[in-house]
Each structure stands twice: as C-alpha cells, then as structure tokens.
Structure 1
Amino acid sequence: MPVTVLDKPGRLSVTERERIRLSAYSTERVLVRPAKLGRIGAVAALAHERQDGSGHHR
C-alpha cells in the first residue's frame, strides 16, 4: 500500500478505497506463494475481518 494513499489528507478516491479494501487479499496472495509462509498468509488475510464475518475482503 503506497504511503501516499495511507497519508492522504481528505477523502480517498474510489480506486484508493478499493486498494485499501483489497490489501489483506494482496498480502495473502504474496505470502502463500512460498509454501512455508502459507499459514501466515491465511492469518494476514483475516486482518480486517470482524467476528460476524463482515469486513475486508471475505
């Protein structure tokens, strides 16, 4: 995630909000490529999940 998006003053564009929403998914996709990091990737993908199942990306 670019710092320019995270530190941006004011409202984010639709594209920037989507990038933030998908950041956990992107992290998972990168971490599952080396098999030894697959479990870490699965946990990282849940970073924005809520107990009721809502949240980012799932």
Structure 2
Amino acid sequence: MPALTAMMITLGPDLTLRQGRRGLAALLRASAAPAHALVTFGDRSVVPPPRPGARRT
C-alpha cells in the first residue's frame, strides 16, 4: 500500500503537468500526501512483522 500511494504522489502530478494543468498537479500531490503518510505510518507501526517459522492458518 505505501508503494501505491507513493506512485499516486509521483505519477498523478507528472501526468497533469504534461497536460499543462499546474493547479491540478499541486492539488493531486497535496491530497495524496496525507494518505501516503498515514499508510506508511500504519504499515510500520500497526502491522505486525512476520514471524519466521510461523504456520499459515
């Protein structure tokens, strides 16, 4: 998930800049940044790391 939101921050504004929409590019980057921060924080702190040798259920 963090990779997807990082891609949103990068690709969305780049595509709109190529179309000449500077304002929309800034809006896309600004609106995706908080989602990326939340997902990255949650991935690091909330999701437990995998345990080596654990059995799948």
Scaled by the length of structure 2, the TM-score of the pair is 0.45
Higher relative contact order (CA 8 A, sep 6+): 2
Q: Which has the higher helix share?
A: 2
Larger Rg: 2
